Amino acid sequence: MTPTAAAPPVCSYLETVGRTPLVRLSERSLPAAARHATVLAKLEMANPGGSLKDRIALTIIERAEARGEIAPGRNTIVDFTSGNTGIGYAMVAAAKGYRCIIIMPKRAAMRERYMICRLFRAEVRLWNPALGVPGVTEYVKQLVRENPELWWANQMGNDDNPQAHASTTAPEIWAQTEGRIDYFIAGLGTGGCLAGVGAFLKEKNPAIKIIAVEPSNCRVHVGGGHDPHSIVGIGTGVHSSFLSGAELPAEALSDLPRGVIDEWGHVSSEEAVGAARRLAATEGMMVGPSSGAVIEYALRVAARPEARDKTIVAMCASHAIRYTSHPLWGEVAAEADVALPAGEPPCVDEAAPIMLWSSDSGKDGAPHLSLSAGE
């Protein structure tokens, strides 16, 4: 497979957004029943800000600049986010000289994203997650009304979001697979990636199946409810404005094909975490919870009889290192807290044993955490 053109050897930092690798999962990562298909992972953590959302942040801001809507020194960029888009905004804003306000839910899992946005010198505000997307949307609208210099990027309603994927992500996938793609699977957050990539691929080949993945207990796109889950980045609890059905009441929605989406898949929080951990253990590939959900569902699709000799592209939106406060890292984080207690000074006793700790046995020689590929 021929890769897409690389970034020029001398370029600006923002020119490194995009052109991410597409890699084949080895047989070690595939259940026996799935080995008759090819599963490819689109590794968006290779973007400079570490996620798929760098693409939309850059496109949304640069298209607004081209329209004359914003300019550095004149406007402050503001939006709410579960984190990755916020990092993208903060990175682009820093590179271009904008002030930036990122609004994210006050949850422990946001800690890394909070820190990254702050290092880019963005202002971070934490909103009450109990009020949901409708609540924070009204807050931002009021904020912009009262402060004319604020410019709302509006990732959930700005058509430049899906256009970013139609113009960059989708052509990359098409070129990298040389047009040999049968399924495209992605997590459903704002819906921009699925809408943009889906429209492009369907135009190239209407037979390509586009599959959206939601958390099992947050299936609003098929008329289900919105219950708490830990698959950060997808399952916002509101219907995507970019996908068909947003105008319909919940009782009119179903899991039948609709618009560019051929299948509405779902994965539990536990299954998403398990898949991400297995991928790290069997592939040496670290992905976040939403990517774990997508990989889990891709393996289910690959195991179907009709997937024999087919090519499945699974969107991996971000790196696992961004989620060290998430249950994905639960046992490892707890072990690290014992192995390396915060504030503990280094040992200065030369008479102490050379080896002070082993992850296999712990410092007391007792059996400790063991992470197998199956966990």
Q: How far apart are the C-alpha atoms of 37 and 35, rounded to whole Å?
A: 5
- What one-letter code names the amino acid at 170? A
Cα–Cα distance, 70 to 81 (Å, whole number): 20
Question: What number of other Cβ atoms are within 10 A of residue 242's Cβ?
Answer: 25
Whole-number Å distance between alpha carbons of 19 and 353: 49
Among this protein's residues, is 363 annotated catalytic? no
Count other Cβ atoms within 10 Å, centred on residue 28: 10
Residue 290 known to be catalytic = yes
**264 C-beta neighbours (distance < 10 Å), count:** 20
Angle between helices 84-96 and 111-119 (to 10 degrees): 0
CA gyration radius, the chain: 22
CA angle 109, 115, 118 (to 5 degrees): 135
Catalytic entry in 82, 216, 290, 318: 290
Per annotation, catalytic residue among 42, 53, 202, 310: 53
Please state at what angle helix 269-283 crosses helix 289-302, rounded to 10 degrees.
80
The torsion angle over the Cα atoms of residues 304, 306, 311 and 317, rounded to 10 degrees, is: -40
The residues annotated as belonging to the active site are: 53, 290
